């Protein structure tokens, strides 16, 4: 039996941002292929001085809605209860946050 691969699509959201050279936003990696049960880390960075919050969302296959996983406000992390055992958020909302996917599952984490 061939092991399956999970394709992860997670969105990190900053609303109302006009991007310029002074306002850089990036997520690395943008998407990733991984075998189920292997930990994955996604990193989001920005250089927008007036922003203090980074939010992480999940979009499931065939569903256009976004589910809030959690967010970091300055260095305070808030996680949605349904995602606490599966994801972890760390970082500082003023510059960088990481989403740790503790054990990717198929098909829940594919998109």
CATH topology of domain 6-101: Immunoglobulin-like (2.60.40)
Q: Domain residues of the chain, as ranges?
A: 6-101
Angle 41-79-31 from CA coordinates, rounded to 5° = 30
pLDDT at residue 90 in the model: 97
For 21-41, letters b (16+ CB in 10 Å) and e give eeeeeebeeeebebebeeebe
The token pair at 48 is 């927008």
Note the pLDDT tens digit of each residue in 4-52: 444 555 555 554 455 556 678 888 888 788 787 788 899 999 988 888 9
For residue 2, pLDDT beyond 50: no
Residues belonging to the chain = 111
pLDDT at residue 11 in the model: 54
Note the pLDDT tens digit of each residue in 75-101: 999 999 999 998 999 999 999 999 998
């Amino acid at each position: 039996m061939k092991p399956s691969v999970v394709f992860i699509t997670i969105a990190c959201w900053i609303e109302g941002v006009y991007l310029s050279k002074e306002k850089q936003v990036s997520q690395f990696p943008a998407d990733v292929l991984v075998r189920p049960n292997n930990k994955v880390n996604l990193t989001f960075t920005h250089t927008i001085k007036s922003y203090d919050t980074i939010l992480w969302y999940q979009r499931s296959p065939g569903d256009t809605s976004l589910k809030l996983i959690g967010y970091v406000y300055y260095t305070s992390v808030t996680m949605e209860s349904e995602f606490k055992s599966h994801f972890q958020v760390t970082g500082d909302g003023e510059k960088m946050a990481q989403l740790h996917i503790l054990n990717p599952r198929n098909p829940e984490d594919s998109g």
